[in-house]
Chain A
Amino acid sequence: EPEVTQTPSHQVTQMGQEVILRCVPISNHLYFYWYRQILGQKVEFLVSFYNNEISEKSEIFDDQFSVERPDGSNFTLKIRSTKLEDSAMYFCASSDTLTTDTQYFGPGTRLTVL
C-alpha cells in the first residue's frame, strides 16, 4: 500500500541553524501539507501546497519557514534559523483532493533544537 515517507526520523540541531525536513508524498496525490506537534500539545496546521504554490498557511508559518517541491517526488519544509520553540514532531501529509478527502500522514520527523 502506498505511504508517505519522511526523512530524517530524528533531527538534532543547534539554535540558529537551518534545517530541511523531507517528505515523499503518495505519488498520485496533488495536495501536500505540513503539520507540527509540540510535545504534549495538539497537532497544528502549518501550510498546504498545491500546484507548486502555497494555498494556505497558518500564523505559525512565518518568514523563517518555507516549502518547496524541488522535483516530482519530494516535498520539503525548511526552517531558516531554528529557535528552541521549533522543537516538535513535524508531520507531512498528502491527499488526492482537498480536505474533503482523507489525508495520509507520514511517520513524522522529531526535531530537537538545542
Chain B
Amino acid sequence: KNEVEQSPQNLTAQEGEFITINCSYSVGISALHWLQQHPGGGIVSLFMLSSGKKKHGRLIATINIQEKHSSLHITASHPRDSAVYICAASYNTDKLIFGTGTRLQVFP
C-alpha cells in the first residue's frame, strides 16, 4: 500500500534553532512534495522533488531515493515559520498521498 509517514508529529523550537522534519514513503514514487499549511488552513507548496536537494531561502529539502526518505530543514527558525508541514507523494498517478503533517511551533 502506498503510504507516507512523517515524524515528528509535533515539534517545538526556540527562535534560531535548526529544524528537521522527516518523511518516509513506499517504493516507486514519481515525486515528493513538501507543503505548508497555515493556521487558517491554507496550503502552500514549498518544494517538489524527485532527486537530490532543493533550497529556497531558509528552507532546504532533500530526498534519498535508496532509503525512501526525505527531509525538510529550516535554518535559523523564526516564529513566523510556525505552521503544519506536510509531506505528500505521487506514485505515477494524478493523486497526491499526504502524510499526517508535523505541527511546528517556534517560540521567540
Contacts and interface: CB of A to CB of B under 8 A. Distances in A.
Contacts of B98: 42-45
21 contacts: A31-B94, A37-B41, A42-B86, A42-B98, A42-B99, A42-B100, A44-B98, A45-B96, A50-B94, A58-B95, A91-B43, A98-B94, A99-B30, A99-B31, A99-B93, A99-B96, A102-B33, A105-B43, A105-B45, A108-B41, A108-B43
A48 B94 contact: yes
Report, as a range, how many residues of chain B touch the other chain.
Answer: 20 to 34
A100 interface: yes
Interface string B41-60: 11111001010000000000
Contact of B33 (A48, A50, A103, A110): A103
A65 interface: no
Interface of A: 31, 33, 35, 37, 42-45, 48, 50, 55-56, 58, 89, 91, 98-105, 107-108, 110
A89 B42 CA distance: 10
Contact of A43 (B40, B42, B86, B93): B86
Contacts, number: 64
A55 B94 contact: yes
Contacts of A101: 48
B33 to A, nearest CB: 7
Interface in B1-35: 30-31, 33, 35
Contacts of A100: 30-31, 48, 50, 90
Nearest to B40: A107
A98 B33 CA distance: 13
B97 interface: yes
Contacts of A42: 86, 98-101
